[in-house]
Amino acid sequence: MDFYSGHINKLIDELAKLPGIGSKSAGRLAFHLMGLPKERIERLAKAITEAKEHVRYCGQCHTLTDRELCPICSNPKRDARTIMVVETPRDLAAYEKTGRYEGVYHVLHGAISPMLGIGPGDIKLKELIQRLQDEVEEVIIATNSSLEGETTAMYISKLIKPSGIRVTRIASGVPVGGDLEYIDEVTLLRALEGRTEL
């Protein structure tokens, strides 16, 4: 049974398709948006459209940016000899919030998951291996502590170890099954500082 007009129902339906937004939250958001001045709605719509048009992958680490290289990769103060491998740009942001990591990143955009049909060729592994041609001394694997994250970590370790590059894994402290984006900075920092050799 429809309580609202077609346009409101359509807005609620679209909002409910966003991750982490159920139908109740979508309804609250829709009514909040309807209460905003038209100019705010236009700015929001424009920001979304412009982000979709201009944001792309960094040419080096593959995080999201609106430039050829992201601010981290283009920063000469960052230590390019240490690469931290993460699954998503949100994981990168979580580590950046600690303010203590001085290396660079590589974003895989996923993890190996045979059950979901995601293999090594479906994530940015080839690009990581290409980056290792430079003077890289350590690769820190900071994938999630899920089955997929652990599988990906072991796969990367086996690929890189023969090259003689040091491969480490972030320490526990990150709960098994936990997503990095939801973990506090202190826990992330302890996990980074307690990383172990693979």
Domains, the chain: 6-54 (1.10.8.420), 64-197 (3.40.1360.10)
Average pLDDT, the chain: 89
Residue-level pLDDT at 1 = 43
- Residue 186 in this model has a pLDDT that exceeds 70: no
Q: Global pTM?
A: 0.77
Q: Which residues contact 121 (CB under 8 A, 6 or more apart)?
A: none
State residue 170's pLDDT score: 85
Please report which confidence band the pLDDT of residue 176 belongs to, taking 50, 70 and 90 as the band edges.
Answer: low
**Bigger pLDDT: 58 or 172?**
58
Q: Is the pLDDT of residue 6 over 70?
A: yes
pLDDT score of 133? 86
Helices (H) and strands (E) counted in the chain, each on its own, are 7, 7
Instruction: Give CA–CA dist 157/120, Å, rounded.
Output: 13
Range scoring the smallest mean pLDDT among 68-77, 117-126, 171-180: 171-180
- Please tell me which residue, 5 or 30, carries the higher pLDDT value: 30
Cα-atom radius of gyration of the chain, to the nearest Å? Answer: 20
